[in-house]
Amino acid sequence: MQTLKSPPVILPSQKVQIIAPSGALREWERFENGIRIWRDRGYAVTIPEDLSQPWGYLAGSDEQRCQQFITAWNDPESVAIACARGGYGSMRLLEKLDWNLLSDRPKWLIGFSDITALLWGLAKHKGIGGLHAPVITTLGNEPMRSQQQLFDWLEGKVDQILLSGLGWNNGKASGILLPANLTLATNMIGTSLCPDLENVILAIEDVSEAPYRVDRMLTHWRWSGLLSKLKGVAIGRFSQGEVSTPSFTMEEVWRDRLTDLGIPVVTNLPFGHDGENAPLPVGCTAEIDADNGTLTYYR
């Protein structure tokens, strides 16, 4: 994988579009809190009238959500697209999305969890890097530090971010940062949306996945041959995943499935669900240092 085209820095007063490409929006108070943070920052936030018209567990039909994304992306006045929430549904859009309908002009797509599918789709088909970062409904629950990191990166106030965790030896490596929700990424293996993972530092997080299910996903990655291509693995938060019955711990699963790869692994990094969720730019240059337990990435 090569470095991706990074969208230009943005400034307060510019237009930001909100879309709901995944699950139906039900957390309206949290949504309003997230919108308030953007507007208090000075951004002109636009919310489409059809933002969420629940269609089962989705925020609308595939056609509605797909068109919402296309319209927002092609709006020449907007500089960023912030996703309302995750859940499930963005993978379904990619069956219908004609990438030729999207402008080649880079702009920020911001979200995480289920939004992985769109972030990877942009990387694969347009060569454009987005931002794996809080969605609107989680932004208000973020500590001030990660909120500040988000806007500092978008507004070009920092050229690098360093995250600290727990390293498992194997030294250092440099590569291209590719963040993802593990479940979404696993389900994209073997499809036309899976980016080339050569030279990649994979940064993964998830929620409500028991250790045995994480084991199963990593075993699938091993059989696919993709783990052997990676330069390193950066592991964020895997929340709500431990089980009360006798089980391997999540850390034991990581060690069992990853340590024989001979690449740097850093765990306990501050990104993912249910806690601090540092912004991770898709497709930027990064360095993972397992001796010191750090992940550093650069503009």
The half-sphere exposure of 18 on its side-chain side, counting CA atoms within 13 A, is: 26
- Give the rounded percent of residues in the chain with a pLDDT score beyond 70: 99
Domains and CATH numbers, the chain: 15-154 (3.40.50.10740), 160-298 (3.50.30.60)
Range name among 77-81, 93-97, 121-125, 183-187 with the lowest pLDDT average: 93-97
Please give the pLDDT value at position 193: 84
Give residue 169's pLDDT band: very low, low, confident or very high (50, 70, 90): confident
151 Cβ contact partners less than 8 Å away, ≥ 6 residues apart: 41, 157
The pLDDT of 195-224, averaged and rounded, is 95
Backbone angles phi, psi at 260, to 5 degrees: -80, 0
The pLDDT tens digits of the residues spanning 6-21 come to: 999 999 999 999 999 9
Please give the pLDDT value at position 109: 98
Please give the pLDDT value at position 52: 84
Report d(CA 132, CA 113) in Å as an integer: 8
154 Cβ contact partners less than 8 Å away, ≥ 6 residues apart: 9, 10, 80, 108, 110, 131, 279
- Give the rounded percent of residues in the chain with a pLDDT score beyond 90: 90
The pLDDT tens digits of the residues spanning 64-100 come to: 999 999 999 999 999 999 999 999 999 999 988 999 9
Report d(CA 15, CA 48) in Å as an integer: 13
Please give the pLDDT value at position 170: 86
Range name among 18-22, 92-96, 115-119, 177-181 with the lowest pLDDT average: 92-96
Please give the pLDDT value at position 172: 97
Please give the pLDDT value at position 205: 98
pLDDT of 298 strictly over 70:
yes
The pLDDT of 147-176, averaged and rounded, is 96
Rg (CA), the chain: 18
The pLDDT of 3-8, averaged and rounded, is 95
Report d(CA 247, CA 255) in Å as an integer: 14
Average pLDDT, the chain: 95
DSSP letter string, the chain: -PPPBPPPP--TTSEEEEE--SBPP--HHHHHHHHHHHHHTT-EEE--TTS---BTTBSS-HHHHHHHHHHHHH-TTEEEEEES--SS-HHHHHHH--GGGS-SS--EEEE-GGGHHHHHHHHHHH-B--EE---HHHHTTS-HHHHHHHHHHHTT--SEEEEE-EE-SS-EEEEEEEEEEHHHHHHHTTSTTPPP-TTEEEEEEEES--HHHHHHHHHHHHHHT-GGG-SEEEEEEEET---SSS---HHHHHHHHHGGG-S-EEES-S-SSSS----EETT-EEEEETTTTEEEEE-
The pLDDT of 99-124, averaged and rounded, is 97
The pLDDT tens digits of the residues spanning 212-265 come to: 999 999 999 999 999 999 999 999 999 987 766 667 899 999 999 999 999 999
| CA triple 162-168-172, angle to 5 deg | 55
Contact in structure between 102 and 237 (CB atoms under 8 Å): no
| Bridge partner list, 15 | 44, 78
Give residue 63's pLDDT band: very low, low, confident or very high (50, 70, 90): very high
Report d(CA 30, CA 101) in Å as an integer: 32
Please give the pLDDT value at position 151: 98
Positions marked catalytic: 113, 205, 273
Report d(CA 208, CA 279) in Å as an integer: 21
Contact in structure between 272 and 239 (CB atoms under 8 Å): yes
Q: Which pTM does this prediction carry? A: 0.96
Give residue 192's pLDDT band: very low, low, confident or very high (50, 70, 90): confident
Q: Work out whether the CA dihedral 161, 167, 171, 174 comes out positive or negative.
A: negative
Contact in structure between 259 and 265 (CB atoms under 8 Å): yes
